[in-house]
A and B are shown apart, each in its own frame.
Chain A
Amino acid sequence: MLTDTEPAAYDLTTHRQRPLIARWGIAYGPALLIVGAFIGLWELLVRALNVPDYLLPTPSAVARDFSTDHGVLLSATWVTLEEVLFGFGIAFAAGLALAIALHLSSILRRALYPILIASQTIPIVVLAPILVILMGYNIKPKLVIVALICFFPIVVNGVDGFRSVDPEFVRMMRTLDASRLSIFRRIEFPTGLPLIFSGTRIAATYAAIGAIFGEWSGSTSGLGYVMLQATPNLETARVLAAVVILSAISLLLFLAVSLVERMTIPWARIQQEGA
């Protein structure tokens, strides 16, 4: 939501909305400025202090690596992207389904909720190699790891979201002859949507990390594999280039979820404008 940028998006003297570029500048300018300053400082310090490339390459050296290594990086990116997207998709579907099931059945909730939380205390780092041994050097263990990391925030936010309904709505619906399913469909599910999207955005930032864990535990391709190969060869610029791509994947996934949220919950904007 863009509430905090709203006052600035309007010119208070003319009450007219500013042009799109100006609004984007106001919204994203400060962050871009800090990132730019950070990269500039990094470049300067590494050059001034004569830090060797294998310890810490300059940002420009990382950028150069994109052109020299683009074949390796591109094919690795596709592999990792596939793991991230499918794993995330599985997590979303399973997380949403499980949240609905836990919400509608108190027996299931009592049976599964503690197990669900306990499952999150098992470190994925330990679990990943076991999954690779079980499932082999293919995409499957990566999908499982990504899904395992991502589905938890979706389930927890879903269950909390469905339960956050004002009980007065439920009473009102009951006198309007609503069935249990109708109350869920027409009241609880829409009420829970914003929280589900919060959980999904958190999950979106975890997905790439999950894919890397999976690849580190056993793989023959992908960005994680590229990092593993480059590190002992002291090709630090290539490692950092892979990191940049990973961040971009996470960021794009996050933005995609936010976009879907805006399209799915149009009433949130109407409420703001109406208020």
Chain B
Amino acid sequence: MTASNAARTRANAKAHGEPWIEIDGVAHAFGQVRALDRIDLSLEQHVRLALVGPSGCGKSTLLSIIAGLTEQSAGVVSVGGVSDARGRLARCALMPQKDLLLPWRTALDNACLALENKGLKRAEARHRARPLFERFGLAQFEEQFPAQLSGGMRQRVAFLRTLMAEKEVLLLDEPFGALDSITRGQMQDWLADALKQEPRTIVLVTHDVEEALMLCDRVAVLSARPGRIVSIIDVTIPRVGHRRAIVTTPEFVRLREQALEALEC
């Protein structure tokens, strides 16, 4: 596909709400082990999709394929109209479960990694990252080293680092999986708020159905290995008010039941 073609496709996608991420018949195997089995999915811009499934169902592999880090065995994945791995890599930023903050860099300098990779001077990168620390409740923590931060704070810095890559697509691989349940709840609220300010197309891998329903517009339930999509649930809950109020609405309870039922088959 030529560059102008790609640009047109992207403009179209923006204008008409056409698929931004398209996954067409993607299958993947590690040697003899089949990890993914014919996945079809499409996602419009700024839509948030959750991939939920039992562990080992290949959901992280699918994320890695979308990111362009893993070459799929079969099928086509395109992001923003571009389907080669290098092009996808340029359009996606990945946030893994481990915060992977560099211990020798302060929180602010960790968030600057993507900008420095783009060739910005350190001072300039810091200047641009600093306002985000204020906006996302990390003021005063800029000069702390990762070892001095709590687990929740580290994930916030890791998210800012991902955001600073200025990519259209954010791929979140169980970002709060290592946190305790209280912190995880706080982080979900924080992330929902951050995404309200900085809308992005999101693919979130999680094994927590509640997290998927709280954060995403659509939930794809995957089967055990080899991963297949067993159900796609549109989340139609008005997310206003306290999280405790939301999770007890009949609609939320119904969707959770639906998702858990799909997980069992």
CA distance A169 to B146 in the complex (A): 15
Contacts known (A168-B98, A171-B94, A187-B102); A178 close to B145, Cβ less than 8 A: no
B22 CB to nearest A CB, Å: 19
Contacts known (A168-B100, A169-B100, A186-B113); A175 close to B165, Cβ less than 8 A: yes
Interface residues on A, range: 20 to 34
- A175 & B92 in contact (Cβ 8 Å cutoff): yes
CA distance A112 to B64 in the complex (A): 35
B204 CB to nearest A CB, Å: 15
Which of B73-93 touch A at CB < 8 Å?
Answer: 89-90, 92-93
Chain B residues with CB under 8 Å of A177's CB are 90, 114, 117-118, 165
A30 CB to nearest B CB, Å: 30
Overall SS of chain B's interface: mixed
B126 CB to nearest A CB, Å: 15
**Quick one: CB contact mask for B98-116 with A, threshold 8 Å, 1 for yes?**
1010111000000001101
Contacts known (A168-B100, A169-B100); A175 close to B67, Cβ less than 8 A: yes
How many residues on chain B are close to A (CB under 8 Å)?
Answer: 27
Q: Which of B94, B116, B147 contacts A186 (CB 8 A)?
A: B116
Chain A residues with CB under 8 Å of B90's CB are 177
- A176 & B147 in contact (Cβ 8 Å cutoff): no
- B98 & A274 in contact (Cβ 8 Å cutoff): no
What is B's interface to A at a CB cutoff of 8 Å?
Answer: 64, 67, 69, 89-90, 92-94, 96, 98, 100, 102-104, 113-114, 116-118, 145, 147-148, 161-162, 165, 167, 171
Pick the 8 closest A-B CB pairs, nearest first.
A274-B147, A176-B114, A175-B94, A267-B104, A271-B147, A178-B117, A274-B148, A177-B117
